[in-house]
Amino acid sequence: MSSVLGGKIVYANQMPEGLIPAALADTTEAFQLEGKHPDLVVLNDRPWNVETPPHLLDDEVTTAETLFVRNNGIPPREIDLNTWTLTIEGESAKQSKTYSLQELKDKFKHYTYQLTIECGGNGRNEFNPPAKGNQWSTGAVGCPEWTGVRLKDVLEDVGIKDDAVYIGYYGRDVHISNDPDKVVISRGVPMHKALEDEALIAWAMNGEDLPLMNGYPLRLVFGGWPASTSGKWLSKIVIRNKVHDGPKMGGDSYRVPCKPVAPGSKVPDDQMCIIESMPVKSLITYPKTGAKIKEGRKLDIRGHAWAGDLSVQSVDYSIDFGASWQPCQLRKPKNRMAWQHFSAQLDFPEKGYYEVWARATDSEGQMQPMLVPGWNPKGYLNNACHRIAVMVE
């Protein structure tokens, strides 16, 4: 960085990880995050929030370089695998136990699952009135293969009291104020989610160490729920006898009105509900919007669909703005809570501009809406149909 700036960065040791120096902030060059694809879109650099254009999510298994980044704080500066520990405690833990990284790997059976994680605010940029926060479009989602140990095996090794209701996590990321006493984010899930077979304490993605920006060296992974529950740089888990009350568990954070409200409404806290399973959704990953084809030719499309804790029952496409729908071919998931791949071959009746829309239906019959669903103060859970533009020439 110093060579780019033309001189030594004095006080570099105080400079937050990932901060773009002000001297470079006005550049017209696109910012790039180390280890990530150069075409990812930077929404924020303090903390890093980076999303993936849909066409870069075309792989069946999301790669490390194309997985989105949603950070609330600054990743830990120095990571020593020999001293990294995970502590389990809490009022509903029968004891407190601390494991080294190696102990976790040696003591418990390893599992690998392909699990979909999606930011609760994915699609926020379509809400009106606009919601505060990073204006995610469609790319805060991914489905890599995660490897680790089951959370339930570790919790049961510690011992769970009968009154346990929730777990909460703590990571070693640092608040953007650099105040070491401020907890950046501490969310959690109810016990029934924590004890699922697919709930992992993971150290690997696609067979490699986790990328730093995605939680290296240890993180939780809860497929199908807001990615904010999948705590990164994991150092402590608490077993609670009540709903976890860490930072970003209350107020408007990751909560939506329990009942529909008018856009722009002020909603009292006691009428807000915590987001749990994410809604059914789909994404066209090929071709990218702006595709052109010759008249009389067929167009192949493909993409992914997912449905929180459920599976996807069907995916349909439309080329007439939702007036009619045709079925896509849909594959089964690799495992529970992995996204499913769809494809179709499209005919167009004449030259002109078209939009291809995709609409998924989950295993309980819930269907993606064509328009932005219920407004909420922070712009969560937008699962409106994805669409791309196609020109037939």
pLDDT tens track of the chain, all 393 residues?
554 455 666 676 666 555 566 665 555 555 678 889 999 999 988 899 999 999 999 999 999 999 999 999 999 988 999 999 999 999 999 999 999 999 999 999 999 999 999 999 999 999 999 998 899 999 999 999 999 999 999 999 999 999 999 999 999 999 988 888 899 999 999 999 999 999 999 999 999 999 999 999 999 999 999 999 999 999 999 999 999 999 999 999 999 999 999 999 999 999 999 999 999 999 999 999 999 999 999 999 999 999 999 999 999 999 999 999 999 999 999 999 999 999 999 999 999 999 999 999 999 999 999 999 999 999 999 999 999 999 999
User: For the purposes of burial, counting CB atoms within 10 Å of the CB of 59, is it exposed (0-12), middle (13-18) or buried (19 or more)?
Assistant: middle
Single out the residue of 114, 190, 191 nearest to residue 145, CA to CA.
114
Q: pTM (2 decimals)?
A: 0.91
Please report, to the nearest 10 degrees, the dihedral formed by the alpha carbons of residues 192, 196, 198, 202 taken in order: 70
Nearest CA among 180, 174, 201, 217 for reference residue 71: 174
Select from 29, 38, 31 the least CA-distant residue to 66: 38
Longest dimension (CA), the chain: 70
Asked whether the beta carbons of 147 and 112 are under 8 A apart, the reply is yes
Are 329 and 282 within 8 A, CB to CB? no
> What is the number of H-type helices and E-type strands within the chain?
5, 26
Six-digit token string for 365: 């019959």
Alpha carbons 158 and 95: distance in angstroms, whole number: 6
| Upstream peptide bond of 287 is cis (omega within 30 degrees of 0) | yes
Q: Are 69 and 50 in contact (CB under 8 A)?
A: yes
DSSP state for residue 253 in the 8-state scheme: T
For residue 289, the tally of other CB atoms under 10 A from its CB is 15
Element containing residue 24 per DSSP (H, E)? helix 22-25
